[in-house]
Structures are given as C-alpha cells and as structure tokens.
Structure 1
C-alpha cells in the first residue's frame, strides 16, 4: 500500500494571474500558503480473486472491470496516463469538502500523481511534480484552472510565486518565523456552505481578463509585492486591510465571483471586527477567509450564528508519501 498526504492551500493575493491566458502575455505573481488540512490517498494492488478489477472509493464506491468505465475523471485518466495494467484500489479522504476554493482538486491530482510515481519507483523534484501535475490538468483533463494550486501542493509553505510568460516559475519561500506565525492567529476560515466547481466559475470570465480587465489585473499583480513587504515588516493589520482591497478588485472582474449571500456575510464581518478578507478560489462559494484581529474574534463569534468556522494553522508540509509498504 502507498499513502500520500497533500496539503490544501490558502491564496492571499494574485489570484487570476496564474491562468495561462493571463501570464503568457503579462507574467503572474501569487502569495499563498499551505495549511494543516490534507488530502489523503491510498493506493494498493487488487488480486485476481475479486469480482472487479478496480475499486475507487470517493463520494461514490466504484467497482469496475474496465478502467474506461471509472466515473472519477482524474483517476480514470491517470490510470491511462501511467499505463497501469494491474488492478488497483484507490481510497480518497479529505479534511475539507471538495469544490470549496481550497485547491482541493489540484491537491488530489498532485497527491495521486505522487502515489503513482512511487508505484512506478520514480522520484521527482518538487518543481517537476508541480509541472507534471499542471500538464495533466491542462492537457489531459482540459480543465480551465490556474497553476498556483499544483505548485503550492507540491512545495508546501508560505510562498511568493513568480510566473514567467513561458509557464516556468520561481518559488520564494517566506520563512514562518515567530512574528509571521502570529498572522494565522488573526485569520478566520468560514465555510459558506456553497460548493461549486472552479472550472465552471473560471470558465465564465478568465478568457476576458487580458482584454477587458487589464488595469484591474495589473493591480492584483502589484498587490503581491505590497503584501510581501507588509509581511516582512510584520504589519499584519495592514495586510488584512489589503485583503479587503484585493477582494474589491476581484469582485470587479465578474458578477459570477460573488452573490448576495456572500456579500451579506462579508459586509457583516467587516461591520463586526474584520479588517478584510476574501472568498477563496475562483469564486461563487466555498470558503471565506477573514482577517479579524485575535482580540476581536470572541466578540465576532458571539454575534455571528450558523456558520462553520474551521480552525487552522500555516503548514510547511508539501505533498509527501507517508506510507510505502
């Protein structure tokens, strides 16, 4: 049995600049971190004595004899990609729900890619694992997704990403020292209850960014540099306020990014102690990140009701194999 453990990520600034339709002409920048919530994938061979060849356990349980009949498109296509002939059982477990803006789909791809590479006795660098996962999502799955999630899952940690026009990228680690570690104490993660597919949301506006929203996207790019400097100077409240500016910019890109429920939640939060925040991922639902100074959080949670708060911490962990038996 092989088990991979791959982190979810939180993207602070630069979202949208990691889509090929943008960075191929303008380059891109991202500031994001992985957190201590994970996707776990187990992979093991199945013997010939079962009535099925493949068993895939996710929100469904699939027992099939022909890999082409597998409904989970990532598993189906990756079996073909790696030319797996023997029967396998794959079991997925996640700490957070899918389709929620936490980069879960790319964490799944990176984690499964890592497990199959181990099965093939292949070892790749973090950068090659990220690039292989990006290629798989873009060219095999034909998904309209960016490249930050695969990089974050493969590298782990709090990072600034510089994306070049040719798709290559540099990862600059921001050391999580005692001061920066205090930042996550001021961050609150709330589940909106709305699940959506990033590919569906992004597909409605990404292609228009380089034509209709050039100034907004350039400002989103610039905010990454500004946010990095605020972190290095330990100006965390200003970092939170910049999140508010970033959310306004992101909302201006398309009407599908937000909705009344999300707007009402965000406005309530700002009126009750939050300095800023944003909806994570492509938009439309999922998790909302809020910057609420730690001393204001008790008061905030007394006023807000019927929300799911997910405590978390920053994590340095990247996708890794935790069992290879």
Structure 2
C-alpha cells in the first residue's frame, strides 16, 4: 500500500508572532492567515530494504536506518525521523515499522510560508491515513505542534500547523496551555477573486533562520520591553481589523491594516527587516504597491505586496530587476489531505 498526503503552505496576513510563547500564554494571540496552492508532500509505503528509510527529495538525501536505532538528531531528515518516532512510540505502542518515507515541498525552508511546520502536518496526515489513526484537524495540528516545538525543540509558534491542517481563510485564537480556536471565514467570491488579483507574492531568493528572529521576539517579551510588547498588542488588534475588512469586502482597509501591521512587526525585533527588504519595499511602492510585508518571521523569504490589479504588470516587471521571483499564487479552501494509491 502506498499513501500520499499533502498540506498547503500559508500566508501570514496579520497577527503573526502573537501565536508564539510567551506572548500568547500571557496575553492571548490572534492571527489572520490563508493557505495557498503551494504544498508540502509526503509519501509512505513499506520499505523494500526492511529498514526505516527517510528520503528528503529536495535535499537529495537518503538515510536507511535500523528502525530500533532511529533518533531525532539534526539533519535533512530530522522532521521525518521526529514524526516517525513520535507516532511509533506514542500511537503504535512502540512498534517501529520498516517504512519508506519520502518528502518534498513547493517552497524552500526559511521561505516564510511555514514550510517546515506544513511538512510535519503532511507527514502526520500520511501516518494518520496509513495506520487508520482517525485523527481530526485539531488533533493533527496539535500533534504536529508537539512534535516540532516540544519533541524536536524547534523554535516557532502554532499558526502554521493549524493553517496547514484546516486550510482556507482562518482567524485563529491562541491561549495559554496550548489551547487554540480556529474560526474559518466565509469570504465572498468577489472578495476572494479581487484579493488574488491584487496580491503579488515575491521570493527574495534569501532564505532565513526564523528561530533567531523568534528568539529575539520571545526574549523581548520575557524581559518586558514595552516597545516590543506594544508592537505585539498592535499586531494582535490588526488581526481583528483584517478579519473585519475581509468579511466586509473592504480591500482598501485590508491594505491599510497589512501596512500598519508590517510597521508594528518591524518594531517587535530588530532582525525582522534589513536593507534588502527596505529597498524592495521602496521599489514596490514606486511601482504601484500600496501595502507590503514579509510573510512569516521576517528577515527574508517571501514578501507580499498589494496593488490595484491594473498596476500588477508594472509591479511584477519592476520586481524582476533585483533578481527575485514572482510566484503565481491562488488561495486554497481545503487543508491537509491524504489518499491511498494501491
């Protein structure tokens, strides 16, 4: 039997960072995000070698390990090994099957689209299908969060796992004790279409280590720095404002909230922006954009720009100059899915 799964990557529209401890534990976090037609993929089947096989297809890296010797140490296959161990030890009663696990993604690590967490969701979804674990969206997202943030101790928040599991436009609430509420939004078709036509997604060509930025944000909150804390409070409220703008179809307000949220985001940690990002933002504004932000923690990866659809071609041509890549992007309505091939 072959099982495949995929999970959609996400754009963080507003409130990103308020889903990270200790802020969400102390103040409650709100995040507005949407999934796009870029995916993380996982395939599971019985390993012909009788070993546990981990194939990171993007990195062209393969590990074959005796199942009893699998660990969760660093390396290209760490996420795969972490999911394998967690599922085997906690959900399969300690049984470690000889599986071949293969993964790849439509976006590189450090892209700002939640690629690592989305990959964990795709893997958990594949295991759920393969072993008939009957996990729902909340359970898949929470399990993926526990594996990545607690089991592997990789820094980050909670929004990526829930976005990948649920899909679509979601307003998310993050409380203490890892309690999360996902509120799917019913976006009118014309709003959906107009926003797709207005949004330009641009890969800077520079991947970044989000953990460093997240560590700085968390440290600022723990130390009670008022400027960082005030910025996080504004980000949280802007997630509410963006939700209201989307539901009302007020796309002018959507752009205003995105831009003010980006200004607040830059005040939460010094490494969120840099001269390259500032120059790209200035170039975009000179060529029709009226809102901009970096998706994810910041520092690089993908940037989002909002413009009048009539200005889109001018903006895309201008962005081609610095050497990055404009991605054709559409929103998705559905979250992680899995299917049996044979």
Aligned pair 1:75/2:86, yes or no? no
Distance of 1:48 and 1:297 partners within structure 2: 51
Aligned pair 1:258/2:273, yes or no? yes
Aligned pair 1:200/2:212, yes or no? yes
Distance of 1:222 and 1:53 partners within structure 2: 46
Residue 56 of structure 2 corresponds to 57
Contact kept? 1:280, 1:289, Cα under 8 Å:
yes
Distance of 1:87 and 1:165 partners within structure 2: 38
Report deviation, 1:323: 2.9
Report deviation, 1:164: 2.0
Contact kept? 1:237, 1:293, Cα under 8 Å:
no
Residue 99 of structure 1 corresponds to 110
**Any gaps of 5 or more consecutive residues in structure 2?**
89-94
Distance of 1:275 and 1:53 partners within structure 2: 50
What does 1:82-231 correspond to in 2, within 5 Å?
82-83=87-88, 85-181=96-192, 182-209=194-221, 211-212=224-225, 213-231=228-246
Aligned pair 1:316/2:319, yes or no? no
**Matched residue pairs, number?**
323
Q: Secondary structure in 2 aligned to 1:115?
A: helix
Report deviation, 1:204: 2.7
Contact kept? 1:20, 1:167, Cα under 8 Å:
no
Residue 92 of structure 2 corresponds to none
**Any gaps of 5 or more consecutive residues in structure 1?**
none
Contact kept? 1:191, 1:310, Cα under 8 Å:
yes
Distance of 1:323 and 1:32 partners within structure 2: 29
Report deviation, 1:62: 1.6
Residue 246 of structure 1 corresponds to 261
Distance of 1:184 and 1:154 partners within structure 2: 22
Distance of 1:87 and 1:151 partners within structure 2: 29
Cα RMSD (Å): 1.7
Residue 284 of structure 2 corresponds to 269
Q: Secondary structure in 1 aligned to 2:71?
A: helix
Contact kept? 1:17, 1:27, Cα under 8 Å:
yes
Instruction: Tell me the TM-score normalized by structure 1.
Output: 0.94
Report deviation, 1:292: 1.2
Contact kept? 2:316, 2:326, Cα under 8 Å:
no
Contact kept? 2:34, 2:168, Cα under 8 Å:
yes
Contact kept? 1:5, 1:322, Cα under 8 Å:
no
Report deviation, 1:55: 4.1
Cα 1:204–1:69 shift into 2, 3 Å: closer
Distance of 1:259 and 1:206 partners within structure 2: 20
